[in-house]
């Protein structure tokens, strides 16, 4: 069955209306009005951070909108109608979203991205810029390679010797870096998979606080999650070099192949930076691949004041470095660097002949799809290239300096408060702390833990603040990460006040009888 001429014409008219450049012009004006008003509102004192609704309620509302439009039997709407509906939809998205740019969002390590970065990024979506080979995304490829060069130099890699790529997040970057290491250590893994016969068992030595994506990578790569050997940490949760050396010698003695040593800059639990130079010394001595997960802390290399934390980062064979954490970028844009550019193709060795053109072999150097897990890859560096070009790299140093300092201010507020306890001295912008009164301490640990979980839930559902919870050594705690440079001491004092206020209300419900320790299963 084919469609009739009149059906075809009607379909064509609807398509043309959807593509109409005048509609785009009108929608863009409306968009600019709404997004600016939203940005203003976020900065006002009583604006809500998370507009909490139960998931079922949100899904129901989302479904209703999908069901109201049935464009096959109605006359086409006027442009004015469409703009009105567009406005309603944009406003709803803004209202129901999470306001990560609110200075009282101090939760996960997700930035208060610069709204202007989003405008640059919108070019990617509005004009659908993608990459795999140079010719499909020439400008996307150019900005990515220029950024790889500039960020790599900040890290301290030798110009001309290193290489890198941008991929969809730190987790994929960890996987890709460890895949390159695995292929170099055990080449038969790539071709033979689980059928390969190894003379010695492949293992990864990783910080006990390494991100879970490292464990997942070991699972995905066929190394096995159980073959991650955890490197013991000191009391500041940093890798102990002496313990690492012992493990290396033990693996040698037991005839195990160490695919990589994984260190963190910083690890997520409390933001601890591993001693990279000491670890790099050992990796050089024993000729081991050093992979450093600097997804969060990499941008300290922009800051005069804090670059000591990542001293030695340039000695790693592979480095993960997220732009969507401490460089203002909207998700996702993560760098993976290789100290030795010969390793840039080690992760993915197969060819896709229709993609790569033998009439211009020198262009393959610029066909970035050879190096990433993605085939079609969203051009995700427009925003970083735009912001760096507009404001200069000094703005990245400012972000590190201000947010780290604000975390120190928070730490001193905790030290001064009799009813709060910091669980560590912060090295960056992550602070883990507990509410601690004599009454709460008189309860069993599982009740104290439950109290922290319940209090946080009330706090985030109120929309006043967004913070996260953490569990350290069996103790539930609150965890903040100061991602927004507009978060100040005033907000942090108010956070402590709000917690106190909610705690005294919650106190009446305790001790709770029925629940088990919420930390037992984590």
Q: To the nearest whole angstrom, how small is the minimum distance from the Cβ of residue 267 to ligand PLP?
A: 6
- Two structure tokens written together for 120: 């640059």
User: What whole-number distance in Å separates Cα of residue 100 and Cα of residue 115?
Assistant: 11
Nearer to ligand PLP, 170 or 369 (CB): 170
Binding to ligand PLP by residue 211, rule CB under 6 A?
yes
Encoding tokens for residue 176? 């890709």
Nearer residue to ligand PLP within complex by CB, 268 or 454 = 268
Task: Give the x-and-dash track for 361-390 against ligand PLP (CB under 6 A).
Answer: ------------------------------
How many residues of this chain bind ligand PLP (CB under 6 A)? 14
By C-beta, is 295 or 467 nearer to ligand PLP?
295
What's the rounded Cα separation, in Å, for the pair 178 and 221? 8
Quick one: which of 103, 164, 169, 369 contacts ligand PLP (CB under 6 A)? Answer: 169
Binding mask 306-345 for ligand PLP (x = CB under 6 A): ----------------x--x--------x-----------
Q: What is the DSSP letter of 158?
A: P
Which one, of 39, 220, 5, lies nearest residue 113 by Cα?
39
Q: State the helix-helix crossing angle for 489-506 and 445-462, rounded to 10 degrees.
A: 120
Q: Which ranges constitute the DSSP H helices of 97-221?
A: 115-126, 138-155, 170-185, 188-192, 212-220
Rounded to a whole number of angstroms, the minimum distance from the CB of residue 381 to ligand PLP is 15
Tokens of 61: 């509302």
Report the DSSP pairing between strands 468-472 and 475-481: antiparallel
Comparing CB distances to ligand PLP, the nearer of 133 and 206 is 206
Give the list of residues 6+ apart from residue 399 with CB closer than 8 angstroms, or none: 299, 326, 327, 328, 485
Contacts with ligand PLP, 266-305, as mask; x by CB under 6 A: --x------------------------x-xx---------
Closest CA to 374 of 348, 402, 337: 348
Among the residue ranges 11-19, 64-72, 166-174, 440-448, the one whose residues contact ligand PLP (CB under 6 A): 166-174
Out of 213, 307, 318, 454, point to the residue binding ligand PLP (CB under 6 A): 213
* Residue environment code for 361-377, b if the CB has 16+ CB neighbours within 10 A, otherwise e: eeebebbbbbbbebeeb
Write the DSSP symbol of residue 342: G
**What is the nearest approach in angstroms of ligand PLP to the Cβ of residue 270?**
12
Minimum distance of ligand PLP from residue 469's CB (angstroms)? 17
Nearest-approach distance from CB 228 to ligand PLP, in angstroms = 14
Chain positions contacting ligand PLP, by CB under 6 A: 109, 169-171, 211, 213, 264, 268, 293, 295-296, 322, 325, 334
């Amino acid at each position: 069955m084919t469609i009739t001429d009149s059906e075809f014409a009607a379909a064509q008219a609807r398509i043309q209306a959807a593509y109409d450049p005048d509609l785009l012009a009108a929608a863009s004006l409306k968009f600019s009005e709404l997004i600016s008003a939203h940005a203003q509102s976020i900065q006002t004192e009583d604006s809500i951070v998370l507009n909490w609704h139960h998931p079922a309620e949100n899904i129901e509302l989302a479904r209703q909108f999908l069901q109201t439009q049935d464009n096959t039997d109605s006359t086409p709407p006027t442009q004015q109608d469409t703009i009105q509906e567009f406005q309603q939809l944009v406003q709803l998205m803004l209202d129901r979203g999470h306001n990560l740019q609110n200075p009282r969002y101090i939760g996960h390590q997700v930035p208060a991205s610069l709204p202007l970065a989003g405008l640059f990024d919108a070019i990617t979506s509005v004009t659908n810029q993608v990459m795999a080979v140079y010719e499909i995304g020439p400008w996307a490829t150019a900005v990515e390679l220029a950024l790889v060069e500039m960020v790599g130099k900040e890290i301290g890699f030798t110009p001309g010797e290193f290489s890198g790529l941008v991929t969809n997040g730190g987790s994929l970057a960890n996987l890709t870096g460890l895949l390159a290491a695995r292929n170099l250590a055990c080449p038969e893994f790539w071709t033979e998979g689980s059928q390969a016969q190894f003379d010695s068992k492949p293992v990864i030595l990783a910080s006990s606080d390494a991100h879970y994506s490292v464990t997942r990578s070991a699972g995905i790569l066929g190394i096995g999650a159980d073959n991650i050997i955890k490197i013991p940490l000191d009391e500041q949760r940093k890798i102990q070099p002496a313990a690492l050396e012992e493990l290396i010698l033990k693996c040698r003695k037991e005839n195990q192949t160490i695919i990589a040593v994984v260190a963190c800059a910083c690890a997520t639990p409390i933001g601890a930076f591993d001693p990279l130079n000491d670890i790099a010394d050992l990796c050089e001595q024993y000729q081991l691949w050093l992979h450093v997960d600097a997804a969060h802390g990499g941008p300290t290399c922009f800051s005069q004041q804090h670059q000591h934390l990542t001293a030695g980062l340039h000695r790693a064979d592979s480095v993960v470095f997220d732009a969507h954490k401490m460089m203002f970028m909207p998700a996702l844009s993560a760098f993976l660097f290789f100290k030795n550019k010969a390793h840039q193709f080690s992760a993915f060795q197969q060819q896709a002949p229709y993609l790569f053109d033998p009439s211009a072999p020198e262009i393959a150097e610029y066909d970035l799809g050879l190096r990433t897990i993605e085939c079609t890859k969203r051009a995700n560096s427009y925003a970083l290239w735009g912001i760096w070009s507009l404001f200069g790299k000094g703005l990245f140093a400012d972000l590190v300096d201000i947010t780290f300092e604000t975390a120190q201010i928070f730490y001193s507020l905790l030290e001064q408060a009799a009813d709060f306890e910091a669980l560590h001295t912060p090295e960056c912008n992550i602070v883990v702390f507990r509410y601690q009164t004599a009454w709460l301490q008189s309860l069993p640990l599982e009740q104290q833990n439950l109290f922290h979980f319940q209090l946080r839930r009330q706090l985030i559902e109120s929309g006043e603040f967004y913070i996260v919870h953490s569990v350290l050594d069996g103790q539930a705690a609150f965890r903040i990460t100061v991602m927004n440079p507009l978060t100040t001491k005033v907000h942090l004092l108010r956070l402590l006040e709000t917690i106190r206020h909610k705690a005294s209300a919650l106190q009446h419900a305790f001790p709770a009888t029925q629940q088990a320790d919420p930390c037992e299963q984590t």
